[in-house]
């Protein structure tokens, strides 16, 4: 039986690309669910992660970072963020500290609050992330400034990277959740299927292993995911994926001399997919050219955007 003071609801994490939204989700879940890379625009779709403790169930919606859209893909990513804000009961705006003359990006925060958070009409919490990057009075100064300018229900500084102060975030979210019983069983971490995360792992490795435009010009499609028969635990699971690129020159970079780059990608991805699934897999990757896929609505739709 759940304690009578139980709270449950949906919380959207929003912010700039690279703010640390996915890192924070993973830290709260104590599980690597959402992919994280040092490059902006890593997350392209909504990732649902479910946080459990004995007094709460927080259904966290990790969203694509808000940017100026340059092509149809970006428009779709922003629509995913907009929809997540509508689906949420509470919004956590994740604002990272930055090194340099300005402690945070004031211009972006104004846009974030006025154009994204306010229209959604939900209670606003502000989490100042990357507090490990700054020292001295700047943390309390920024908290004070943003309390006055943005009028959030609550504000806290934390570090998703080190885990410092993340429990405090749970404490300020909990009283704002509308439901008094859980929506999901307590052993469920996400509502997305395994095959979605298989594609995400491959995308993460592309972001980490390839430079310049390559990560942004690629998409991963899981074509086949043949579940293993339970009565034969040694049989490898077959996963067939396509990496979509825009041009032949990108395909050549993707594959590399003698196939070396693609092999390295496949090895890195397979290792992590096996950790996720807890069983051996046979991973086949094909590289396909779809000119200008990021601009074509029908292709984007078929890739789930
Ligand atoms: N120093 C520091 N780095 C952090 C912190 N949180 C996240 N990062 C780093 O910031 C980078 C971006 O993190 P992500 O979690 O991918 O950021 P995101 O907001 O999900 O980015 P998009 O998916 O592109 O919108 C990674 O290199 C993280 O390791 C933090 O608290 N401190
Ligand atoms: Mg992310």
- 20 and 166 assigned to the same domain: yes
Name the residue with the closest Cα to ligand 1, atom 30: 130
Mean pLDDT rounded to a whole number for the chain? 95
**Predicted pLDDT at 7:** 97
- 131 and 100 assigned to the same domain: yes
How many domains are contained in the chain?
2
Q: Domain boundary at 176, 205, 234, which?
A: 176
Helix (H, G, I), strand (E, B) or coil at 99: coil
CA distance 98 to 220: 32
Residue 216 lies in a domain: yes
Nearest to 128 by CA among 157, 164, 163: 157
Report the CATH number at residue 249.
3.30.300.20
- 204 and 142 assigned to the same domain: no
Q: Is 203 exposed, middle or buried (0-12, 13-18, 19+ CB in 10 A)?
A: buried
Q: Answer whether 129 contacts ligand 1 (Cβ < 6 A).
A: yes
Name the residue with the closest Cα to ligand 1, atom 8: 20
Closest ligand to residue 81's CA: 1
Closest ligand to residue 94's CA: 1
pLDDT digits (tens, 9 = 90+) for 79-126: 999 999 999 999 999 999 998 889 999 999 999 999 999 999 999 999
**Predicted pLDDT at 232:** 67
Q: Answer whether 9 contacts ligand 1 (Cβ < 6 A).
A: no
Range of the domain at 20: 7-176
**Predicted pLDDT at 236:** 77
With contact defined as beta carbons under 8 Å apart, do 88 and 11 qualify? yes
Distance 56 CA to ligand 1 centre (A): 25
- 29 and 172 assigned to the same domain: yes
- 139 and 279 assigned to the same domain: no
Residue 266 lies in a domain: yes
- Can you give the pTM of this predicted structure? 0.95
Nearest to 35 by CA among 164, 182, 203, 210: 203
Sign of CA dihedral 200, 201, 203, 208: positive
Closest ligand to residue 93's CA: 1
What ligand 1 atom has the least distance to the C-alpha of 62? 20
Distance 175 CA to ligand 1 centre (A): 27
What ligand 1 atom has the least distance to the C-alpha of 36? 16
């Amino acid at each position: 039986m759940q304690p009578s003071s139980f709270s449950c609801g949906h919380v959207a994490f929003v912010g700039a690309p690279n703010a640390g939204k996915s890192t924070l989700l993973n830290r709260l879940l104590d599980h690597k669910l959402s992919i994280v890379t040092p490059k902006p625009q890593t997350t392209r779709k909504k990732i649902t992660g479910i946080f459990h403790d004995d007094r709460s169930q927080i259904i966290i919606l990790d969203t694509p970072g808000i940017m100026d859209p340059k092509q149809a893909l970006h428009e779709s990513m922003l629509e995913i963020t907009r929809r997540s804000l509508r689906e949420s009961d509470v919004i956590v705006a994740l604002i990272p500290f930055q090194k340099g003359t300005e402690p945070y990006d004031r211009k972006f925060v104004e846009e974030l609050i006025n154009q994204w958070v306010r229209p959604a009409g939900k209670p606003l919490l502000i989490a100042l992330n990357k507090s490990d990057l700054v020292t001295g009075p700047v943390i309390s100064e920024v908290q004070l400034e943003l309390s006055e300018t943005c009028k959030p229900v609550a504000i806290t500084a934390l570090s998703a990277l080190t885990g410092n102060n993340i429990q405090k975030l749970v404490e300020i979210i909990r009283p704002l959740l509308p439901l008094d019983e859980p929506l999901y069983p307590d052993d469920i971490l996400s509502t997305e299927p395994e095959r979605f995360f298989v594609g995400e792992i491959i995308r993460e490795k592309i972001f980490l292993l390839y430079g310049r435009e390559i990560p942004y010009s690629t998409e991963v499609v899981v074509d086949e995911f043949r579940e293993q028969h339970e009565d034969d635990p040694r049989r490898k699971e077959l996963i067939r994926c396509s990496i979509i690129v825009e041009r032949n020159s990108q395909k050549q970079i993707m594959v590399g001399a003698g196939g070396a780059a693609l092999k390295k990608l496949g090895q890195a991805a397979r290792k992590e997919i096996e950790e996720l699934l807890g069983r051996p897999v046979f991973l086949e990757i094909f590289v396909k050219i779809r000119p200008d896929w990021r601009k074509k609505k029908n292709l984007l739709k078929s890739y789930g955007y």
